[in-house]
Amino acid sequence: VGDWEFWIDWKDYAWAPFVFTWLVAIHFPVYSWVFNKFFKVYFGATLVVMFWFLQRTLMVQLFYVGMNNYPFNYVQLPAYMLPAMATDFTLILFGLKKHMGLYTLVACFLAAILVVPSQFLFLNTPFLFSNVVYPDPLAAGSTHVMPVWSLIRMVIPKAPIPSYIAEGFTWPLPYKSFYDPYIIMTGFMGIMGVVWSGFTYIFIRAIFYGVEKTTKRFVKPAGA
């Protein structure tokens, strides 16, 4: 349980682009499509996430915190909200049938990249922007003042990039912006979203192929 929570957390730049993009790019476009197709609900993915909030809250409190004394971790579901909303709005924009391929491509891409700002948005933002004093490990007696957010992103291992390239105290951030883990992570998630969109398109086409012919007896009265 702990490993799974960490893989889809914002602190893991190695596994999160694979696991998180698979979760949002495979599931949410299908939820949006199914709810719109069969129930005429235009916010299906968002609706699923909102109901999942209730189940997840109960499970985390009972089994994680109550029974196992596991630290409370609620990063996963808030980070789903913006990707779910993106897939719903994309379906409204492109429709069900005319542009299904374009819908899956754009929806999966937006869902993947919006994981990053949604994680930041639902974290403890005031705490992350509070300043801390960090001693310079290379210069004795020298310190740097920076937000907690910058400190966290600097000290957590970042991507397969040497630290002497990725890190360096430059204004206004304590690392070189191009090698910032969030820039790398966002780009990687966008690429993975496009990759997963192909599987999502195949899944929707395969599962719902000929669905009108199969279900016509249930949607029309006999003899109509």
Three-class HEC string of 140-175: CCCEEEEEHHHHHHHHCCCCCCCHHHHECCCCCCCE
- For the chain, the structural domain boundaries read 2-125+181-219
Q: What is the pLDDT of residues 132-191, one digit of tens each?
A: 898 877 788 888 888 877 776 666 545 444 554 545 544 444 445 555 666 777 788 899
Q: How far apart are the first and last CA of the chain?
A: 53
How confident is residue 3, by pLDDT bands cut at 50, 70 and 90? Answer: very low
Contact yes or no for 98/108 (Cβ under 8 A):
no
Q: Which letter does DSSP use for residue 132 in this model?
A: E
How would residue 117 be classed by pLDDT, with cut points 50, 70 and 90?
Answer: confident
Whether residue 24 contacts residue 192, with contact meaning beta carbons closer than 8 Å, is answered with no
List Cβ neighbours of 44 (8 Å cut-off, separation of 6 or more): 31, 32, 33, 34, 35, 36, 88
Provide the pLDDT for residue 217. 60
pTM for the whole structure: 0.73
- Is the pLDDT higher at 50 or at 7? 50
Residue 89 has pLDDT above 90, yes or no: yes
Summarised one tens digit per residue, pLDDT across range 53-66 is 888 778 777 877 78
CA angle 150, 179, 122 (to 5 degrees): 45
For residue 1, pLDDT over 50 is answered with no
Residue 213: pLDDT over 90: no
